[in-house]
A and B are shown apart, each in its own frame.
Chain A
Amino acid sequence: MTAKEGRKEGRKEGRKEGRKEGRKEGRKEGGSVMAIEETPVYEVFVQADALSFPTHVGSVRASSPEFALQMAREAFCRREAAHDVWVARADAITKARSDSATLPRQGTDKRYRLPGGYDNAPHWKRFKAMAMTIEEVAADMRTKPGR
C-alpha cells in the first residue's frame, strides 16, 4: 500500500489512531518521508472463571478483531485457561478519569448505605435474639433444607 492510500484510508471512521500516528511519523527512505500506518490497538479483558468479572489486563496491536483475540490469548493467557476474553478497540473506550465530573469519588457520609453503618447486634441481644449477617445467610443457603 502506498503512503497516499494510507492517508486516504486514514480519513475513514475507525482509522483515527493510524492517521494521527502515521502523519507525524515518517521513516526517511531515499530522501522522502513515508507515512507509516500503525496497527490498531485493542484493550484486552480476561474473565478468569464463570463467577468473576472480566478484568482489564493490557492491550495488543492487531489488524482485525479476530487477530486481536488470537493475540490476546498469546499475550495474556499463555499459562492459564480463561472463561472468556474480550477485546475492544482502544479508541472506542471512554474513561472517567479524563472527566473529573463523572469520576466516582468518596464524598459525603455514605455510611447509611453500607452494612457497616448499622449496629443492630446489641439491640437484638436486648430481645434475646441473634443478629444476622449476609455471610451467615449465604452459608445457610448452601446447607440442605431442614438441617
Chain B
Amino acid sequence: METVTPAHREALADILLPIADDAWIAGQRGSEWLGMAPDLEEDLALSSISQDALGHAQLLYDVLAELGNREADEQVYARPASGWRHCRLVQTPRQDWADFVARRYCYETFDDLRLHALAGAGHAPLQSALAKILQEKLYHVRHFDTWLQTLAWGGTQSRARLQEAMAGVFSELGDLFSWGQGASALAMWNLTALSSLRPLWESRVRARLEQLGLEWPRVAAKKSDGRLGEHGPEFSDLLAEMTSVRAMEPAGEW
C-alpha cells in the first residue's frame, strides 16, 4: 500500500483487533492451566504456548498502537468489555482436557489460516510481526494436533470424551468466522480471502477428523457475535478480575 489514508488505517485496525483479542484471551484462559495440566511436562508446554499467545497479542497491539490506537497496555487494561472483539471459542473458562484440546485445535488451526491469509496485506510493521508469530504458530498447531491424535487413539473412553468435547466446542464456533464491523474493511486492503476462511477451515478439520475416525459434529449458528463486542456477563467478570490489581492505581507504575 503506497498511500495509507486514515480510512485505511482504521480499516486495518478493524481487521487486526479481533485477531489480537483472540490471542490475548486464549493466553489469559490458557494461563488458567498453570499447575493443572495432565503431567508436569505438559504444564511446561502449555505455559510456553500461553506466553506465546500473549506475546502475539502484544505484537499486534503494538501494530494497532502505531495505527492510532492507544499503547498496548492501555488496550488491554483500559478497554470496556464492549470494545473487545474476540470470539466465544477462546473465552470459555478452563474445563477438562478433552475440551481444551478440541477447543484449541479448532482455534489454532483457524488462526493459522487467518494469519497466512493476512500475509497479503502490504503493511510493513504487520508483516514483521507476522513473521515472528507464524513461526511459533506452527508449533502451537502441531502441539494440539498431536494431542488430538493422542486422545483419538487413546482408547474407547478417551475417544468418547474427545468426541463429546468436539461437539460442545462446535456449538460455540459461530462467531469464530465472523468479521463484525471489519467485513467491509477487508475489501479496502484486498483481503477478501479472509472472509472466506470458513470452507478452508472446514475442509482441513474435516479431513483430519475423518483420518482419526472422529465424527464431524454440527456447527451451531452464532447466538451472539463477539466480533461486535457481545460477550455476556462471563467476560465482564473475567475483565474485572484481569484488571483488578491495576485498578488500584490505573495511572501508576507497576
Contacts and interface: CB of A to CB of B under 8 A. Distances in A.
Chain A: interface secondary structure? mixed
Contacts of A75: 41, 44
Nearest to B143: A70
B45 A71 contact: yes
A39 B39 CA distance: 10
B146 A71 contact: no
Contact of A1 (B39, B41, B143, B155): B155
A74 B41 contact: yes
B139 to A, nearest CB: 8
Nearest to B51: A78
B39 A74 contact: no
Given A66-B146, A78-B48, A60 B41 contact: yes
B241 interface: no
B101 to A, nearest CB: 13
A66 B41 CA distance: 13
Interface residues of B, number: 13
A74 B146 contact: no
A78 B44 contact: yes
A35 B155 CA distance: 17
B48 A74 contact: yes
A64 to B, nearest CB: 8
B196 interface: no
B74 interface: no
B30 to A, nearest CB: 14
Interface in A116-142: none
A5 B151 CA distance: 18
B45 A70 contact: yes
A23 interface: no
A10 to B, nearest CB: 16
A74 B155 contact: no
Nearest to A62: B41
B181 interface: no
Contacts of B40: 61
Given A1-B155, A39-B39, A74 B150 contact: no
* Top 8 closest pairs, chain A to chain B, by CB: A71-B41, A74-B44, A74-B45, A60-B41, A1-B155, A74-B48, A75-B44, A66-B146
